[in-house]
Structure 1
């Protein structure tokens, strides 16, 4: 697909804005071309981002896996997989794409553009992967790695914290079984709000001692929040964070 002079300027501006280098502008242009454009202009699918997305997905997994493997030496395969899955999800990749205004430089068919394609999470995530693929194939492996790691390193602490909170119940249970030979007891101490939008307050007791209290929009969420606070009170979160510094 031939690139106009005005399009070249747009691509060069994008590279400049993000401190990137890409000698092959045709490859970069493909990475930012949505399938709706090639469909509506009867062009080959090889002219849009789909093939580069496929390759970029592999690049993304390789770089993120190596980063997590080296950063979290004490994490097992399951824990590493959970963090990586969150890091490479459409929601996270779309967030990365929005940070660099990727949608503004994408090409869409008229119908898709009218529907706000440049803000669609799935399209942004695919284009971000395709961008990684284009940069890597342009023999810019180090640039690609540094570019991606900038986003991953910023996002990982939030994802790790979120996963710790989601896994708080099982972590607390393992701890109490090992230390006290008992299980934490979750008690609903209050329910407020209408039936369709209740807020639950949960209290955790271990051996009859109140350890923490928290609220949530569901019993499960309140239990998770209370378990997280219990881990914090018991000093377990601090120990885990210190291990990963």
Structure 2
């Protein structure tokens, strides 16, 4: 296990490598594990993110700031940051967790990221932990629209469809790609009433759903700009152009044309 590689990705070098080892250790591995560090890191993360939001969004009130922070520090966001760090290759898991695929479980990866932040705080202090947090939160914030309070694509799609009294979308995993430790999931999102069928890809099922939801929201909004008569006269086979979006972190790529109505 090349811990120097992880430290390079974090842009932080531990003085006490024992803290680093502990932060990467799941309770299934040994009695000395990372749960207390996770508790500490969670508090530091919330504090730093609150400070960043306070500085950046001067017009948001306390309630909106709280909702935005909650969307930034939720498990899915932390999981996607952990994926960028390729944290799964550094985890210390018990045999049972290894066999059951714990190295790609969002909860374990998100918790480990928080434990790392707690370990950095104990190793050097608050300023070092703050710098590491800012390095991955600021790029995330650059993709956030404060008008939506950081809501993810699935939530925005759901709210949009509900406002139009349209049934909620369905999501289906249609394919997986890559090796077990770095799988990519291809997910279909369907909104039958609007003849919307799109595909998204991501490093987890949730990330794939988010990518698909983002494309589906764009397609649903486009469909509703057309007159009702034109939608009714259009045969079901002539669906909106299919696309594939990819989420790496919190961003989705632009749609790319698919050759047909079924995923590759």
How high is the TM-score relative to the length of structure 2? 0.57
Aligned to 1:27: 19
CA contact (8 A) 1:197 1:217 kept: no
- The Cα offsets for residues 154-196 of structure 1, whole Å up to 9 and x where unpaired, read as 1113333572696xxxxxxxxxxxxxxxxxxx889xxxxxx98
Gaps of 5+ in 2: 152-162, 166-189, 197-214, 226-264
Report the counterpart of residue 97 of structure 2 in structure 1: 112
Q: Which structure has the larger Rg over C-alpha atoms? A: 1
Structure 1 CA distance, aligned partners of 2:6 and 2:164? Answer: 54
The two structures, once aligned, show a CA RMSD in angstroms of 3.0
1:144 alignment partner in structure 2: 129
Q: Which whole-Å CA distance do the structure 2 matches of 1:65 and 1:147 have between them?
A: 15
Aligned pairs for 1:85-234 within 5 A: 85-160=70-145, 163=148, 197-199=192-194
8 Å contact 2:67–2:149 — kept in the other structure? no
Runs (4+) of structure 1 moved beyond 3 Å?
none
Pair 1:48-2:33 in alignment: yes
1:16 matches 2:8 = yes
Q: How many residues were matched structurally?
A: 169
Q: Is the 8 A contact 2:71 2:150 kept in 1?
A: no
* Unpaired stretches in structure 1, ≥5 consecutive residues: 1-6, 167-185, 189-194, 202-215, 227-245
- Cα distance, 1:198–1:108 mapped onto 2, change above 3 Å: same
Report the CA distance between 1:200 and its aligned residue.
7.8
Residue in 2 aligned with 1:83? 68
Whichever structure has more helix as a proportion of its residues is: 1
TM-score by length of 1: 0.61
The one-character-per-residue Cα deviations of 1:47-98 (angstroms, maximum 9, x if unpaired) are 1110000000100011000010011111101111111001100000011111
Alignment correspondent of 1:64: 49
Judged with a 3 Å threshold, the aligned counterparts in structure 2 of structure 1 residues 28 and 75 are, in CA distance, closer, same or farther, namely same
